[in-house]
Structure 1
Amino acid sequence: MTKLYLYILVLVPSIVLASIDGYKLAAGDTVSIHVYGQDDLSVTSKIDKSGSIKYPFIGKVPLAGKTTDQVNQFITQALMDGYLVNPEVHVYVSSYRPFYIHGQVKKPGAFAYQPELTLSKAIALAGGLTERASSTWILKRTINNQNKSIKADEQTEILPGDIITIEQSFF
């Protein structure tokens, strides 16, 4: 019974993190892949800069730009191709890549992504604004492999990998 509670405590936060609809994996994300009844095929791995991980029997698996559902389908098909009859595969993000905030905040740097993160909460994580901070906040985000700059406000949703710049006021 104790093992079940421990399993739930370890898995539940990760499953909650994986709930971003349509989230596309990228380098820096850590994924967990579990195959029911096959401990040697259950791995947790950080996606490398090429956007891939190494997986037993399959080798290099490209994950960048795919959702966890797409990865699940890919690994299930690959394992059915000569390894297992009907594998039960579960893929989830165990930790997201960080977001970054710099400029006129008290503690600039990289911070762990949290679900339902807004710019207001991100500024709080960075210790708040400095006295010289302006109300101009720029968010850089990669959308369809293109870097976009977005003028943001305190309710703007932050995603993993976002870069937030808090400009300096002239007054």
Structure 2
Amino acid sequence: MKIWISFIALSMATVTTACAGPSAGLPPLASTAPGPYQLGPGDQIRVSVFGLDALNNTYLVGDTGAISLPMIGTVEASGKTIAAFEADVANSIRAKQLMLDPKVSAQILAYRPFFIMGEVQRPGQYPYVPGMSVMTAVSVAGGYTFRANTKAVTVTRSAAKGRAAPDSSVQPGDLIQVQESWF
């Protein structure tokens, strides 16, 4: 009788562990309070400088995190807000003595994409839209497959990995993995 009870307890533990899925051991993804957007590689920016038409153009933040602008050279963009980037461009223009008081404007034209894989209809790379949640990201990818675990997904963000609920926010560059449900 004791052996039979031990066998049932072991079986229940195995089934419970299998139901949890691979993301069960991960900590919840740290929620980041929405703050000013920070530029990163892959963002597309429109720069306008009043009186310096040679700088007015659309630029892509390169994989090094910088943008190369004509006449002033490379300006670091990664990790900066748009306002900080505008100030850096204005400071570079002053340092090169091109203008005394430059009026710089920059706008984000396209955010870097997010990636989704696993149990969704169309896994792949998709453009980021501000205010996205995991559920809207799954919707963009065509919805869940019939095997998907719809309660929690794994999100990798800036080398941090964690569990996320359907209402968790998505950031540009996130890798979202929808796991298979066991039952």
Question: Does residue 1:164 correspond to 2:180, yes or no?
Answer: no
Alignment of 1:92-171 (within 5 A): 92-134=107-149, 135-142=151-158, 147-171=159-183
Alignment of 1:4-19 (within 5 A): none
Per the TM alignment, residue 137 of structure 1 is displaced from its structure 2 partner at its CA by: 0.5
Task: Tell me the equivalent position of 1:91.
Answer: 106
CA–CA distance in structure 2, aligned partners of residues 112 and 57 of structure 1:
31
TM-score by length of 2: 0.77
How many residue pairs get aligned? The number is 148
Indicate the structure whose relative CO is greater, using CA pairs within 8 Å and at least 6 residues apart.
2
CA–CA distance in structure 2, aligned partners of residues 155 and 23 of structure 1:
20
1:64 counterpart SS class: coil
* C-alpha RMSD of the superposition: 1.3
Per the TM alignment, residue 93 of structure 1 is displaced from its structure 2 partner at its CA by: 1.4
Amino acid of the structure 2 residue aligned with 1:170: W
Q: What are structure 1's unaligned runs of at least 5 residues?
A: 1-19
Task: Tell me the equivalent position of 1:13.
Answer: none
Moved over 3 A (4+): none
1:49 counterpart SS class: coil
* Aligned mate of 1:52, from 48, 53, 66: 66
CA–CA distance in structure 2, aligned partners of residues 27 and 100 of structure 1:
15
Amino acid of the structure 2 residue aligned with 1:132: R
CA–CA distance in structure 1, aligned partners of residues 176 and 120 of structure 2:
10
Q: Rg bigger for which structure? A: 2
Per the TM alignment, residue 37 of structure 1 is displaced from its structure 2 partner at its CA by: 3.0
Per the TM alignment, residue 22 of structure 1 is displaced from its structure 2 partner at its CA by: 2.1
Amino acid of the structure 1 residue aligned with 2:182: F
- The structure with the greater share of residues assigned to strand is 1
Amino acid of the structure 2 residue aligned with 1:26: G
